[in-house]
Amino acid sequence: MNGDKTDYTLASESLILSSTSLANEAMQSQDESGEKTWSRRSPWLQSMAHRTARVLRATPPYIRTHVVPLLRNAKPTKKQCVALLLLVLLSIFPFSILYDRVGFAAIFRDKTLSCGDGFGNPENATVSGIEGLFTLDLTFGKLTFSQAKLIDVAWDLFIGRGAQMLAWYISYIVFSDALLRLIERHPASFRTFAYITLEGPSLGSTWALVLDLFRSRSKQTWSLFAYLLVSSLYILAIPTILGAMTGYVNTSIAWVSLNDTLQQIIPVSDFEETLYVYKVGNVTMNNPCIKQNSTELYNLRVLASHRNSECYCTMSNGSDVSYYTWQYHTPYEAFPPPNCTFPDTQIFTSDWDTDVHNCSENLDITIDGQPYAAEALYSERGYCYQGKGYNHSYLVNRTSCLPDIAHPSFEWGFSTMLSGVFIIVQFFWGLSMYAVWQDAQFNSKLVKSGYSMSQLRAAFAVTTAAKAKTDLEDSELLREDVKGLARGLFGTMKERGAEVECEIYEGVLKEGLIERRQYRSMEDLPRYSPATE
């Protein structure tokens, strides 16, 4: 029966048996001190191994024989963990916060400037279109010019340059590994290799990449150089972008123009929220402000309503009629009616305060020295300035956002639109850099051997390539004319310059890296001696 089984089936069963024995092997393992490992102290590990075996039996054979062994043998290194952590912190986490808290649509909406406490949003405080890209619509504080300038300089120095240094360090590793992956396919130009490995993203490396775009040998190489060029330009622009999305502006407040000529503008803080009267009975008023608060006016109106319901008016002929009877049959223009008075002998009670009141009690409010019955007032809530009231809609249409000239100060803040654009670009830049780096980690023999580029190793590599191109020794290279040497190594529009080939790393591929030695001083360095040859 065993002879009928194919090698494929035997491999699958072997894989299943090895997965079920993981728990037993872990339970039998002990550390050097003789103490049992965490696997021994985890009774559910053996159960999990059996469950894993059942799952493996249910999976397709291809996954069991190819995918599962790859996953089992995959051991994340410290370098991989650090790379993933940087990707999450610098790209994925800010992008997720932006998407969850703000949303992409809100980034490109019209922006409203901070204008203090005003009557809504003044018309000139709203910025639309592309102008919102540099509009500081999220500002903080009330600072002096020196304080705002100090914060802005500190942001540009530590955040702007610090972010660029971190991006440069990450890109140097990614670019160098990508070049090592490239030269395994075909040689790289001396200019591009030297600038990228010695300088990283810089003006020199961008110019070298531009020249190589017209000399690339394949679409894959052209795509890589194009990506390195765009990425280098982005890294060079990081301080400018971070500086452009922050800044300081004058503290602005809302000003109101009470006439159409803008000759008189008044700060919103000079307006007092209150009630004003626009009509008394049938008489139109010029919106005089009421000094009494709204609670007092409301109380007087409630008392007047109860009085009119319970008290009788004594007419001029001595007859008594109810207030509402007189009001219905007698035309009036003011309250109380001149030919009807409430006698002092009548009283009424109010459900509002449960007190006993006299019907002749004064329920008037004084406006500009003139008493008016509270029940006859037609009032509206608004804003008072110099004794005259204005409604909210009137003031909103005449409000502008202008600097606070009475108490000048500054606010420091961000442009939410440009900040959002930066986070989105950073997200895609981080993912693309991670993909390029992973390509080198899995496909480059040099990178998988543990070789990592540094400026010192790059100096040795370009020196070796220069000697191979010019057939000059070290001392001759030092004495050679710089212009002629650069023309021969970098090449011209008609002639191709030197190239860095994978052959210079044959020793690394065949023999591996030399064991690390500690040189504490120059005297410890190995000396060249012809006698040792």
Q: CA–CA separation, 340 vs 334, rounded Å? A: 12
DSSP 84-124: HHHHIIIIIHHHHHIIIII-HHHHTS-EE----S-SS--GG
Contact status, residue 340 vs residue 331, Cβ threshold 8 Å:
no
Structure tokens at 174: 């990614």
160 alpha carbon, distance to own chain's centre: 15
How many C-beta atoms lie closer than 10 Å to residue 221's C-beta?
A: 17
Per-position pLDDT tens, the chain of length 533: 444 444 434 444 444 344 444 334 444 444 444 444 444 445 566 666 666 666 667 777 777 676 667 666 667 788 899 999 999 999 999 999 888 877 778 888 888 777 766 776 776 677 787 888 888 888 888 899 999 999 999 999 999 999 999 999 999 999 999 999 999 988 888 999 999 999 999 999 999 999 888 877 688 899 999 999 999 999 999 999 999 999 998 888 888 888 766 667 888 888 888 888 888 877 788 888 886 666 777 778 788 888 888 888 877 777 777 777 776 665 554 455 556 677 777 888 776 666 788 887 777 777 777 787 777 788 888 888 888 888 888 888 788 888 887 788 899 999 999 999 999 999 999 999 999 999 999 899 999 888 889 999 999 999 888 888 888 888 888 888 888 888 888 887 677 778 888 888 887 777 777 766 666 666 666 665 554 44
Integer-rounded Cα radius of gyration of the chain: 43
Q: CA–CA separation, 515 vs 479, rounded Å? A: 34
CA distances from 226 to 210, 211, 220, 361, 478 (A): 8, 11, 10, 91, 34
To the question of pTM greater than 0.95 for the whole model, the response is no
277 alpha carbon, distance to own chain's centre: 49
Contact status, residue 321 vs residue 352, Cβ threshold 8 Å:
no
Structure tokens at 342: 């409430």
Q: CA–CA separation, 392 vs 497, rounded Å? A: 76
CA distances from 340 to 282, 311, 336, 357, 359 (A): 19, 12, 7, 19, 12
CA distances from 341 to 308, 334, 356, 359, 493 (A): 12, 13, 19, 9, 111
CA distances from 46 to 19, 24, 110 (A): 11, 7, 60
**Tokens 């999305």 belong to residue:** 245
How many C-beta atoms lie closer than 10 Å to residue 254's C-beta?
A: 25
Q: What is the pLDDT of residue 402?
A: 82
Q: CA–CA separation, 258 vs 264, rounded Å? A: 7
| φ, ψ of residue 281 in degrees (nearest 5) | 65, -120
Structure tokens at 67: 């995918």
Coil, strand, or helix at residue 76? coil
Q: Which residues contact 226 (CB under 8 A, 6 or more apart)?
A: 213
Coil, strand, or helix at residue 259? coil
DSSP state of 129: G
Give which of 161, 160, 154 is closest to 242, Cα–Cα. Answer: 160
Q: What is the pLDDT of residue 8?
A: 39
CA atoms within 13 A on the CB side of 480: 19
How many C-beta atoms lie closer than 10 Å to residue 506's C-beta?
A: 10
Q: Residue 69: is the preceding peptide bond cis (ω within 30°)? A: no
